[in-house]
Structure formats: structure tokens, C-alpha cells
Amino acid sequence: MDEKKPVEDFINEYESFLKESFEELWSKVGIEYDKLEAYSVIGGLLSRQVTLSIQMARSPNILNGHSAPLFLRAMTDLHIALSWIMLDLVERSKKYILHGLGEEKLLMEHYKNELENEEDEQIRQILDLKSEWINSQKREFFVEVNLGNWAQLDYRRMSQESGCESLYKFAYKPFSHAAHNMWPHVSIYNCKTCENPLHRYHLIPELREAPIDLDFLYRSCKYVHRAFELFINKFNINLKSKLPLEWWDDYFTEKTEENEHNK
């Protein structure tokens, strides 16, 4: 028997479930046509949350302490932002978009400075594409560059206002250690203790293998689940399909029962 087959089966079924449940959920969101911009934002963020979980499932080798936190940091970041936007859909979506456009405009200015030093056709093409993208949403000369946080407050405050401070404290912050290469992460995952007592057992670098842990994917599933709940509660949606954590629990319960039956 191929030992990889149960893993492949799970990955395929998980991906299929996420795609189908995402399509069902979004199809039941009542779009208000005078607020299309706002629905573009929350729809895009929901899609990204599901996509990140799918990408993690497709790459089981990244389900370890080195790589998985990079995905999970992005997912917790997204959930806090999405929760906060949902509290004032129109105005906060507008802030989110305008900040993003401003970031691209600032990047364009950097490219223009490069062109002043040396003509580069590739950079010229990048500038044209970015200008076209910005102008497709807002006239470029109206776009302001804001160097601060797009929400005008930090993620801790955003999490407090949107009722997910525990997510900030116990997930966003710890995963940030990996995303920003901070000492609490680096000292554990990229160092070992020197065995020479004359060196006072200081830490030395090590290319350490971290074990694969399905719990990282479970957390990813949990963040998708929480995003689904935001939409269900905001738009009074009744889903026929299971919520992600329900699907996860049922899947492994059924597999356990099958294994017991086949013994």
C-alpha cells in the first residue's frame, strides 16, 4: 500500500471542500451595487484566506516551524484586517484601497528615480503597467501617498476594536517572530548549544530540520473557519455545506472509524 495515498487523499478532499464551500458562501452574499468597491475588498480578502490554506495543504513539507508561521502570520493579519473592515464596510474598504494605491504610486516614484540615472526598458514597462493599474481604479494624480498604517491605528488596536485581541496576542504576535526573523524564533529554530564548556554553552548556528506537524494546517483551517463566520454573521447567511472546522473534525472521525472497522 502506498503510504502517501492517505495524505494525498486528504489534501485533495480538503482543497475540494474549501473551493466548493467558498463558492457557496460567496454566492449567498447579497451584493449592494452602490457599494461594489467594498465588496471587492472583502471578497478578495476571503479568497486570499482560502487560497493560503489551500497552498499550505498542497505543500505538506512546509508544515513545520520554519515555514508554516510565515503563512499563518499572513492569515492572522488578514483576519484582523477583515474583522475591522467589516465593522464599517464602506469607509474602511476605501481606506484599504487608497493606501494600496498610494503604495504603488510611491513604488512608481522609486522606479522613476532609477530611470533618471539610467534608461531601462524593463523598468519603463513596469511603470506603464503600474500606472495603468492605478488609473483603472482612480486617476493617478488624485492618489495620495500615506506612509503610515492604512487603518491609521496599529493591529493591536484593530484587534481590540474588532473583538479578536486573543488572536493578536497568541497567534499574530508569535508568528511575527518568524516573519520578522526575531530572536525568539531564530534562537530556537536556527541555533543549537555549543558543547564546549569553555565557550560557556553559547548558541551556534545550525541548519535544523523541524518536524512536519499537521497542527499548522489545522490552524490555517481555523482561520478560514473564522473568516466564514464573519460573513455568515454579517450577511445572515445560511450555508448548506459544513463550516471548515466541522468538515475537518468529521473527516478525521470518519477515517478513525474506518480504520477501527478494518482491523
Domain ranges of the chain: 1-87+212-263, 90-161
DSSP per residue, 71-140: HHHHHHHHHHHHHHHHTTHHHHHHHHHHHHHHHHHHHHHHHHHHHHHS--HHHHHHHHHHHHHHHTTS-G
Q: How far is 14 from 245, CA to CA, in rounded Å?
A: 11
| 8 A C-beta contact, residue 206 and residue 190 | yes
pLDDT score of 144 = 81
Phi, psi of 241 (to 5 degrees): -80, 165
For the chain, first and last CA: distance in Å? 15
Burial of 74 (0-12, 13-18, 19+ CB in 10 A): middle
**The Cα angle at residue 33 between residues 28 and 36, in degrees rounded to 5:** 85
**The Cα angle at residue 71 between residues 66 and 77, in degrees rounded to 5:** 125
Is the pTM above the cut of 0.85?
yes
Residue ranges of the chain whose pLDDT lies below 50: 1
pLDDT score of 140 = 80
- The DSSP code for 148 is S
Q: For 164, what's the count of Cα atoms within 13 Å in the CB-facing half-sphere?
A: 26
Q: How far is 256 from 237, CA to CA, in rounded Å?
A: 32
Which residues lie closer than 8 Å to 72 by C-beta, 6 or more apart? Answer: 171, 175, 216, 219, 220, 223
Nine-digit cell at 56?
A: 499550505
